[in-house]
Amino acid sequence: MARFADLDVPRKSRVQWETREITMPRDTTRQEAKVLLTEYAEYGHWELARLRLYRDGRRWALLRRRKMRIDADWE
């Protein structure tokens, strides 16, 4: 029988993320939200991680992008 003791050890991800939360008022249309999120993606290199639409019409979005890693060892 195989043992999977190594699966319980949490792995460290080399990718580090920067996040930003955006809340849109309830009178924001779907098209306006799309334009706003597209601008964040194109100009800020953000990607959509989560999007939530509440019953009262508010929209909540979680954006993420990779953190820039700069290695000083390459001089």
Q: How many CB atoms lie within 10 A of CB 37?
A: 19
pTM: 0.70
Tokens of 32: 């306006």
d(CA 59, CA 24) in angstroms, rounded, equals 5
At 25-57, the pLDDT tens digits run 999 999 999 999 999 999 999 999 999 999 999
Mean pLDDT of the chain: 85
**Domains, the chain:** 16-68 (3.30.1370)
User: 67-73, long-range: CB within 8 Å, 24+ apart, which pairs?
Assistant: 67/16, 67/17, 67/18, 69/16
